[in-house]
């Protein structure tokens, strides 16, 4: 039943306290832009770090204190602040704080940070040299991060397709820029950014096309109304529904890096500045899965029997391709990229269980994986040879003998990725797979594939651990001493990984209680 057009413009009611965290973040981002313009260069970095972390923490406090009690569908039905949105937004803000702390790392000097002195200069040009000599630094990355976080906060709470698209673009555009800001191997970085941008635009087109088809089917872009149209069978144009669902999902699956829409992942992860990679892997994935959860559970779940099998095949492909391709990687960042592809598959298995327990499990997984992955990339950024990142696997040989603590922490994080019991990875897999087993045969098949795929990835991680501990060290490879912010970040990541592995009851309960959508 197409919704009637309102006769005259009516102002929508807004529950400001519910959406206040988003305002705080975008406000902080705007202030950050002003800081770029007015703060003296030598103080800019420090000011931006404080401002960004402060903004994110303030948003987190606002979320926990006020928004929690203001669960509602607001802004004219385009934003739903419910349990799921709140949990994911809170997790996002927490992970973003950790991510920003890693970005703030400069290893005691301006020249050792991850970001190019001048993003607009041509690599290798005299302009670049001059910027380097002048000691410039790209502190713009901090407001860009805040804008991206703003987009992600919209993304996980968007309740109609238009808002979803706005969120998608708001989070993507800053990320494209951030990907191209690496200080070293700038050509690689810029190439990655361009590829990410082109393919992102391509997938956005898919999403928009799908959204248009769904609007054509239901006469509304509102998720609840689409759901209603499907269950009452009121749509006149039945043929539009399936392609509409598939195309919108493709747009979102691109963001999580599901096969066959994953190919940007290794290139972008490798080219991006390492702290940005960690931020992308954790937060973008979380936001995109939040959107997928809402679209599939609230919006198009009613006809899931028509498309579920297709997504199940994608999930299986994602797990298998991610796991198998990680075997032959020789670059630690690409290895972690393929591992993130495999993890996207594991999470999809949970999503497809279509139960309330599954929502909680998926949200727990996103938190656990995010924390582990940011810490892992933070460590990748520390390992250097001749000043630049030693990301080739051969350079990691024997790291455990030179730097037992760094290698030990990294090994622990790898074990968490592998899903060894008593790490968060195990609990997360358990929480995501258990509902899938209950959901039926397809679920069981996916879980079996998932378990085999994790065995393959475990092999890869353990091979890396063996490499770090049982081979001779490479001359000149050192792990730099991390500064206070990134030490805090890595510690937080490790603590979450341990707690979510050893005593996950509290977090699981929190996620379980939050796993209700408002319609």
Q: Which of 54, 124, 260, 440 binds other proteins (CB under 8 A)?
A: 260
Asked if 264 contacts 73 with a C-beta cutoff of 8 angstroms, the reply is: no
Choose between 278 and 322: whose C-beta lies nearer to other proteins. 322
Nearest distance from C-beta of residue 118 to other proteins, angstroms: 25
| HEC secondary structure over 206-234 | HHHHHHHHHHHHHCCCEHHHHHHHHHHCC
Q: Is 242 in the site for other proteins (CB under 8 A)?
A: yes
- Opening angle at CA 271, ends 268 and 274, nearest 5: 100
434 belongs to the binding site for other proteins (CB under 8 A): yes
Distance CA 423, CA 407 (A): 17
Nearest to 495 by CA among 154, 178, 98, 190: 98
Nearer to other proteins, 135 or 421 (CB): 421
Q: Least distance (Å) from other proteins to the CB of residue 324?
A: 5
Q: How far is the CB of 243 from other proteins (least distance, A)?
A: 6
Task: Tell the residue number behind the tokens 């080739």, with chain if given.
Answer: 392
Q: Indicate whether 130 belongs to the interface with other proteins (CB under 8 A).
A: no
Would you say 93 or 312 has its CB closer to other proteins? 312
Instruction: Compute the least distance from the CB of residue 2 to other proteins, in Å.
Output: 24
Stretch that binds other proteins, among 2-10, 89-97, 431-439, 484-492 (CB under 8 A): 431-439
DSSP 31-88: HHHHHHHHS-HHHHHHHHHHHHHHHHHHHHHHHHHTGGG--EEETTTTEEE-HHHHHH
Cα–Cα distance list, 404 to 122, 294, 465, 488, 512 (Å)? 39, 43, 12, 19, 38
Cα-atom radius of gyration of the chain, to the nearest Å? 22
Cα dihedral 484, 489, 494, 497, rounded to 10, equals 160
Q: Which is nearer to other proteins, 355 or 491 (CB)?
A: 355
Size, binding site for other proteins by CB under 8 A: 64
C-alpha 284/C-alpha 296 separation (Å) is 18
Residues 360-399 that bind other proteins (CB under 8 A): 360-361
Q: What are the Cα distances from residue 459, in Å, to 289, 319, 364? A: 27, 15, 24
Per CB under 8 A, contacts with other proteins among 169-228 are: 194-195, 198-199, 202-203, 206
Whether 372 and 497 have beta carbons less than 8 Å apart is answered as yes
- For residues 85 and 52, give the distance between their C-alpha atoms in angstroms, rounded to a whole number: 22
Work out which of 84, 250, 282, 332 binds other proteins, going by CB under 8 A: 250
User: Which of 23, 66, 354, 459 touches other proteins by CB under 8 A?
Assistant: 459
Q: Does 444 bind other proteins (CB under 8 A)?
A: yes
Give the C-alpha separation, 39 to 25, whole Å: 20
Cβ–Cβ under 8 Å, residues 445 and 317: no
Alpha helix segments (H runs only) across 73-222: 83-103, 126-133, 141-157, 161-179, 186-218
Residues 461-480 within binding reach of other proteins (CB under 8 A):
462-463, 466, 469-471
User: Taking a C-beta distance cutoff of 8 angstroms, is the pair 466, 337 a contact?
Assistant: no
Shortest gap between Cβ of 195 and other proteins (angstroms)? 5
Nearer to other proteins, 208 or 462 (CB): 462
- Residue closer to other proteins by CB (options 101, 490) is 490
Residue 111 contacts other proteins per CB under 8 A: no
Q: Which is nearer to other proteins, 72 or 303 (CB)?
A: 303
Tokens of 346: 């594991």
CB of 420 to other proteins, least distance (A): 7
- Contact window for other proteins (CB under 8 A) among 18-26, 64-72, 214-222, 458-466: 458-466
Window contacting other proteins (CB under 8 A); options: 87-95, 151-159, 176-184, 354-362: 354-362
For other proteins, which is the closer residue by CB, 26 or 446? 446
- Minimum Å gap between C-beta 274 and other proteins is 20
Closest CA to 179 of 166, 167, 165, 191: 191
The verdict on 445 binding other proteins (CB under 8 A) reads: no
Pair of tokens at residue 198 = 């082109």
Question: Which residues are registered as beta bridge partners of 479?
Answer: 383
Considering only 148, 223, 247, 316, the residue that binds other proteins (CB under 8 A) is 247
Structural contact between residues 397 and 471, judged by C-beta atoms closer than 8 angstroms: yes
Q: How far is the CB of 255 from other proteins (least distance, A)?
A: 13
- Smallest distance from other proteins to CB 379, Å: 18
Residue (112 or 355) nearer to other proteins, CB: 355
The helix or strand, by DSSP H or E, that contains position 477, with its residue range, turns out to be: strand 477-479
488, β-bridge pairs: none
Give the per-residue contact string, 293-332, with other proteins (x = CB under 8 A; - = no): -------------xx-xx--xx------x--xxxxx----
Which positions lie near other proteins, rule CB under 8 A? 194-195, 198-199, 202-203, 206, 242-243, 246-247, 250, 254, 259-261, 263-264, 266-267, 306-307, 309-310, 313-314, 321, 324-328, 355, 357, 360-361, 420-422, 427, 430-431, 434-435, 437-438, 444, 451, 455-456, 459, 462-463, 466, 469-471, 502-505, 508-509, 512
């Amino acid at each position: 039943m197409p919704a009637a057009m309102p006769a005259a413009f009516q102002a929508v009611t807004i529950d400001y306290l519910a959406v206040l965290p988003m305002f705080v973040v975008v406000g902080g981002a705007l202030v950050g832009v002003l800081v770029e313009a007015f703060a003296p260069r030598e103080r800019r970095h420090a000011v931006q770090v404080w401002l960004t972390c402060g903004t994110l923490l303030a948003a987190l406090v606002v979320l926990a204190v006020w928004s929690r009690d203001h669960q509602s569908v607001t802004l004219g039905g385009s934003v739903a602040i419910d349990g799921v949105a709140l949990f994911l937004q809170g997790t996002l803000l927490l992970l973003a704080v950790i991510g920003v702390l890693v970005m703030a790392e400069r290893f005691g000097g301006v020249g050792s940070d991850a970001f190019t002195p001048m993003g607009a200069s041509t690599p290798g040009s005299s302009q670049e040299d001059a910027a380097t000599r002048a000691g410039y630094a790209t502190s713009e990355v901090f407001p860009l991060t805040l804008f991206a976080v703003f987009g992600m906060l919209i993304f996980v709470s968007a309740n109609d397709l238009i808002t979803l698209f706005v969120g998608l673009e708001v989070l993507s555009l800053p990320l494209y820029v951030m990907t191209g800001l690496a200080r070293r191997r700038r050509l690689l970085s810029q190439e990655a950014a361009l590829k990410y941008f082109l393919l992102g635009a391509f997938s956005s087109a898919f999403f928009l096309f799908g959204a248009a088809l769904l609007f054509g089917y239901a006469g509304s872009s509102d998720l609840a109304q689409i759901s209603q149209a499907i269950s009452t069978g009121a749509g006149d144009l039945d043929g539009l529904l399936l392609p509409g669902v598939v195309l919108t999902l493709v747009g979102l699956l691109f963001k999580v890096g599901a096969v066959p829409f994953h190919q940007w992942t290794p290139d972008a992860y490798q080219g991006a500045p390492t702290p940005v990679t960690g931020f992308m892997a954790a937060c973008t994935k979380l936001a995109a899965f939040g959107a997928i959860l809402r679209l599939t559970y609230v919006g198009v779940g009613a006809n899931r029997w028509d498309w579920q099998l297709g997504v199940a095949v994608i999930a299986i492909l994602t797990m298998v391709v991610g796991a198998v391709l990680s075997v032959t990687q020789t670059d630690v960042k690409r290895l972690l990229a393929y591992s993130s592809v495999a993890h996207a598959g594991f999470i999809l298995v949970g999503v497809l269980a279509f139960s309330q327990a599954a929502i909680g499990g998926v949200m727990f997984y996103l938190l656990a994986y995010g924390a582990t992955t940011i810490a892992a990339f933070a460590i990748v950024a520390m390992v250097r040879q001749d000043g630049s990142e030693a990301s080739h696997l051969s350079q990691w040989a024997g790291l455990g003998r030179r730097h037992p603590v760094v290698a030990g922490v990294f090994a622990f994080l790898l074990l968490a990725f592998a899903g060894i019991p008593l790490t968060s990875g195990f609990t997360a897999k358990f929480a995501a797979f258990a509902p899938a087993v209950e959901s039926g045969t397809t679920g069981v098949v996916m879980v079996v594939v998932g378990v085999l795929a994790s065995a393959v990835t475990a092999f890869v991680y353990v091979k890396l651990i063996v490499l770090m501990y049982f081979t001779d060290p490479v001359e000149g490879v050192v792990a730099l001493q991390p500064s206070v912010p990134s030490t805090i970040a890595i510690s937080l990541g490790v603590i979450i990984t341990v707690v979510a592995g050893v005593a996950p009851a509290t977090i699981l309960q929190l996620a379980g209680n939050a796993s209700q959508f408002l319609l």
